[in-house]
Chain A
Amino acid sequence: METITHNKYTVKEIRDLTPSTYVVRLERNDMKFMPGQNLNLGLSGDTEKRDYSIYSRKNEEFLEILVKEVEDGLVSKKLKRMKPGDTLEVDGPFGFFTIKEENRYAKKFLFIASGTGIAPFHSITGSFPEINYTLIHGIRELNEAYEKEHYPEGKYISCVSQEDGGDFRGRVTDYIKQHPVDNETICYLCGNVNMIYDVFDILKEQGVPSENLHAEVYF
Chain B
Amino acid sequence: MNLSDTGRTKPVIEGMGYQWTDNEDEAQLLGILACSVRQKAIDKVYNRIHKWNRAKNKKNLLTFVTGCILPADREKFLKLFDIVFPMSELQELPDMIRQNGIVTPVSLNPENRNEELVFRNERIEQLKRSAASLKLNEHMSDFWQINPAYESDFEAFVPIQNGCDKFCTFCAVPYTRGREVSRPSAEILEELKNLVEQDYKSITLLGQNVNSYGLDKKGEEVSFPELLRQIGEYGKISGKEFWVYFTSPHPRDMTDQVIEVIAQYDCLAKQIHLPVQSGDDKVLIRMNRKHNMEKYRHIVHTIRKLIPQATLFTDIIVGFTGETDEQFASTRRIMEEFKYNMAYIAQYSVRPGATSSRWDDDVPKEVKKQRYHTLTEDLMKTSHEHNKKMVGKTFRVLVRGKERKGEFLSGLTEGKINVRIPSLDTNMIGQIVDVKITQATEFSVAGELVKQPELQSA
Contacts and interface: CB of A to CB of B under 8 A. Distances in A.
B181 to A, nearest CB: 14
A2 interface: yes
A47 B292 CA distance: 32
B294 interface: yes
A86 interface: no
A4 B134 contact: no
Contact of A7 (B130, B135, B294): B135
A200 B135 contact: no
Given A47-B72, A94-B167, A193-B322, A4 B133 contact: yes
B71 A49 contact: yes
A6 interface: yes
A146 to B, nearest CB: 24
Interface in A193-215: 193, 196-197, 200, 209-211, 213, 215
A210 B290 CA distance: 12
A69 interface: no
A9 B398 CA distance: 53
A95 B179 CA distance: 12
A96 B290 contact: yes
Contacts of B322: 193
Given A47-B75, A196-B285, A210 B292 contact: yes
Interface string B292-304: 1111000000000
A6 B179 CA distance: 14
A191 B126 CA distance: 40
Interface residues of B, number: 35
Interface string A2-19: 101111000000000000
B355 interface: yes
B333 interface: no
A49 B293 CA distance: 31
Contacts of B358: 219
A43 to B, nearest CB: 12
A217 interface: yes
Interface string A43-54: 001011101000
Interface string B117-143: 000000000100110111100110000
Given A4-B135, A7-B134, A215-B285, A95 B75 contact: no
B250 to A, nearest CB: 11
B281 A5 contact: no
A210 B293 contact: yes
Contacts of B139: 2
Interface in B154-213: 165, 167, 169, 175, 179
Nearest to B167: A94
Contacts of B286: 193, 217
A96 B252 contact: yes
Contacts of B295: 211
A40 B138 CA distance: 17
A4 B288 contact: no
A1 B134 CA distance: 18
B282 interface: yes
Contact of A200 (B72, B285, B288): B285
B213 to A, nearest CB: 17
Nearest to A211: B294
A4 B167 contact: no
B359 A219 contact: yes
A141 interface: no
A215 B292 CA distance: 11
B127 to A, nearest CB: 9
B165 to A, nearest CB: 6
A42 B282 CA distance: 29
B428 to A, nearest CB: 47
B167 A47 contact: no
Nearest to B74: A47
A1 B139 CA distance: 10
Contact of B285 (A5, A89, A217): A217
Interface in B274-296: 281-282, 285-286, 288, 290, 292-295
A211 B298 CA distance: 12
A210 B281 contact: yes
B165 A94 contact: yes
A89 B132 CA distance: 12
B376 to A, nearest CB: 28
A139 to B, nearest CB: 22
Contact of B126 (A4, A40, A89): A4
Contacts of B72: 47-48
Contacts of B293: 210
Contacts of A4: 126, 129-130, 133, 135, 138
Interface in A159-181: none
Given A5-B135, A89-B134, A217 B282 contact: no
A91 interface: yes
B350 to A, nearest CB: 14
Q: Which of A6, A196, A216 has the most CB of B within 10 A?
A: A6
A95 B167 contact: yes
A48 B133 CA distance: 12
Contacts of B74: 47
Contact of B135 (A6, A210, A213): A6
B25 to A, nearest CB: 34
A77 to B, nearest CB: 15
Interface of B: 70-72, 74-75, 92, 126, 129-130, 132-135, 138-139, 165, 167, 169, 175, 179, 252, 281-282, 285-286, 288, 290, 292-295, 322, 355, 358-359
17 contacts: A4-B133, A4-B135, A6-B135, A7-B134, A7-B135, A45-B132, A47-B70, A47-B75, A49-B175, A89-B134, A94-B167, A95-B167, A193-B322, A209-B294, A210-B281, A210-B293, A211-B294
Interface of A: 1-2, 4-7, 40, 45, 47-49, 51, 89, 91, 94-96, 193, 196-197, 200, 209-211, 213, 215-217, 219
Given A7-B135, A200-B282, A219-B355, 5 more contacts: A1-B92, A197-B285, A200-B285, A217-B169, A219-B359
